[in-house]
């Protein structure tokens, strides 16, 4: 079966590599037919690459070739990936992607087009890199009402936090290493500021509850304000700081969804997720907690998931899989700062007496070299708006949410 790959960067080249290096096992799993990469679309030249016959700069070569029935879109970004994918689906070709930005922004339209054309649009690689999560959520957990999801969804930031905590490496050096390893986005601010994790939260929330959630509905806070002082205080409470995406079902018409640094206590399965690894913890009403763990970024792990989707499309070439979600509402994602109660880590310039007067009984934390005018503590449950009101006028150094996952 002939396939095309659009975008020959880290993931796209990994897809071609996996198709070739695993041709026998793939052929067995598609029912005997091997996959053959007929086109690789990229505007760049790759003079030393052995696939010269496959390279094209013209998208229409792929669109107009009836032999190509499955296309892997590994270009990233919304444009021109959206236009290309709409045209391919419109022509009845199935498309698989690792492009979380596109799925989070335009997934509803693309899934509707796939439905109309009796084609498949699959995106296992868009969340958690090589971790199986989209298919388990839509198939294995199909009998559950999902109560909540919490995930370490960005490999780059988890890698950076791990290097900072365990090796005292500077933020910049750790980021450079993540970029060299092909983990980071083209513009790494998407990783650092939580936008990449936000897109993945949107996809998970849309799948879990059946209504499209858009990135502008999900507040994202990144890891730039995390300091080694915060790390040390949290360590004294037997916890670690992770960049978490959290989703909570409230009722049929309301969910909470946000991305932020969070204190995770060491008893949690999420606490031991280090390096570039991701983990997604799904809380179902029948199954309880299930946790999916693996490499969340990188060439071959992500390619593993893209190629699995190609195999799935090849097996369903004349059948549309029932898969997707419907439209959402503007006010479907609530203002979690007003509605969700949780404990908070607070570091501020104040005395324990002042902290007690404002918050009552709290859990105080300590760190080596703690200045006498600095206090750090974990509050009782409250909303973020209530916390802000209590801290008004205080010299606050940092506030971090504490998760109950």
Q: Which of 323, 322, 314 is nearest to 69 (CA)?
A: 314
Q: Which of 52, 45, 90 is nearest to 71 (CA)?
A: 90
Rg over alpha carbons for the chain, rounded to the nearest Å, is 23
Shortest distance, position 202 Cβ to ligand HSE, whole Å: 13
DSSP conformation letters of 330-346: TTSB--HHHH--B-EEE
Which residues make up the interface to ligand HSE (CB under 6 A)?
129, 154-156, 183-185, 191, 196, 296-297
Shortest distance, position 198 Cβ to ligand HSE, whole Å: 12
Length of the chain: 405
Residue 204 or 297 with smaller CB distance to ligand HSE: 297
Task: Note the Cα 218 to chain centre separation in Å.
Answer: 13
The H-or-E segment that residue 54 falls in is none
Residue 129 or 328 with smaller CB distance to ligand HSE: 129
Token pair listed for 361: 């009984």
The β-bridge partners of 272 are none
Q: Which residues, in sequence order, are CB contacts of 64 under 8 Å at separation 6+?
A: none
E strands, 266-316, are 277-284, 288-295
Residue 26 or 153 with smaller CB distance to ligand HSE: 153
Q: How far apart are CA 211 and CA 202, in angstroms?
A: 10
Shortest distance, position 302 Cβ to ligand HSE, whole Å: 6
Residue 127 or 256 with smaller CB distance to ligand HSE: 127
Residue 223 or 387 with smaller CB distance to ligand HSE: 223
Shortest distance, position 196 Cβ to ligand HSE, whole Å: 5
Shortest distance, position 313 Cβ to ligand HSE, whole Å: 21
User: Residue 105 gets which letter from DSSP?
Assistant: H
Contact 259, 201 (CB under 8 A): yes
Phi-psi region of 32 (alpha: psi -120 to 50; beta: other; left: phi over 0): left
**Segments in 30-154 forming alpha helices (H):** 59-63, 81-90, 100-117, 134-135
Phi-psi region of 128 (alpha: psi -120 to 50; beta: other; left: phi over 0): left
Residue 129 or 239 with smaller CB distance to ligand HSE: 129
Shortest distance, position 3 Cβ to ligand HSE, whole Å: 22
Shortest distance, position 297 Cβ to ligand HSE, whole Å: 4
Residue 76 or 148 with smaller CB distance to ligand HSE: 76
Q: How many Cβ atoms from other residues are within 10 Å of residue 172's Cβ?
A: 9
Could you list the active site residues?
200
Q: How far apart are CA 109 and CA 102, in angstroms?
A: 10
């Amino acid at each position: 079966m002939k396939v095309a790959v659009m975008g020959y960067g880290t993931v796209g080249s990994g897809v071609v590599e996996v198709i070739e290096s695993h041709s026998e096992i793939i052929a067995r799993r598609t029912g005997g037919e091997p996959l053959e990469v007929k086109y690789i679309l990229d505007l760049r030249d790759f003079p030393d690459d052995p696939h010269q016959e496959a390279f094209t700069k013209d998208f229409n070569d792929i669109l107009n070739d009836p032999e190509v029935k499955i296309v892997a879109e590994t270009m990233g970004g919304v444009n021109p990936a959206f236009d290309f994918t709409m045209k391919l689906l419109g022509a009845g070709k199935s498309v698989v992607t690792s492009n979380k930005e596109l799925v989070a922004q335009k997934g509803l339209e693309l899934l509707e087009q796939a439905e109309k054309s009796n084609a498949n649009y699959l995106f296992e690689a868009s969340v958690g890199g090589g971790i199986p999560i989209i298919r388990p959520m839509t198939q294995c957990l199909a009998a559950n009402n999902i109560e909540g999801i919490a995930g370490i969804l960005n490999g780059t930031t988890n890698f950076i936090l791990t290097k900072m905590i365990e090796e005292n490496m500077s933020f910049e050096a750790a980021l450079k290493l993540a970029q060299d390893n092909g983990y980071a986005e083209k513009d790494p601010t998407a990783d650092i500021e939580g936008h990449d994790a936000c897109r993945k939260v949107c996809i998970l929330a849309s799948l879990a509850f059946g209504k499209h959630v858009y990135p502008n509905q999900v507040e994202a806070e990144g890891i730039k304000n995390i300091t080694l002082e915060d790390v040390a205080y949290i360590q004294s409470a037997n916890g670690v700081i992770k960049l978490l995406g959290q989703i909570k079902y409230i009722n049929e018409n309301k969910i909470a969804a946000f991305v932020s640094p969070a204190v995770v206590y060491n008893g949690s399965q999420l606490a031991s997720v280090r390096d570039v690894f991701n983990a997604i913890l799904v809380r179902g009403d029948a199954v309880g907690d299930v946790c999916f763990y693996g490499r969340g970024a990188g060439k071959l792990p992500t390619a593993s998931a893209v190629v699995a989707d190609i195999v799935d499309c090849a097996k369903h070439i004349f059948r549309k899989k029932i898969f997707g979600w419907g439209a959402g509402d503007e006010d479907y994602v609530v203002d979690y700062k007003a509605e969700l109660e949780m404990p908070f880590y607070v570091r501020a310039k104040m005395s324990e007496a002042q902290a007690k007067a404002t918050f009552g009984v709290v859990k105080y934390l300590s760190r080596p070299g703690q200045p006498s005018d600095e206090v750090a503590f974990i509050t009782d449950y409250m909303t973020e708006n209530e916390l802000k009101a209590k801290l008004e006028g205080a010299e606050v150094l940092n506030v971090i949410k504490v998760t109950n996952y």
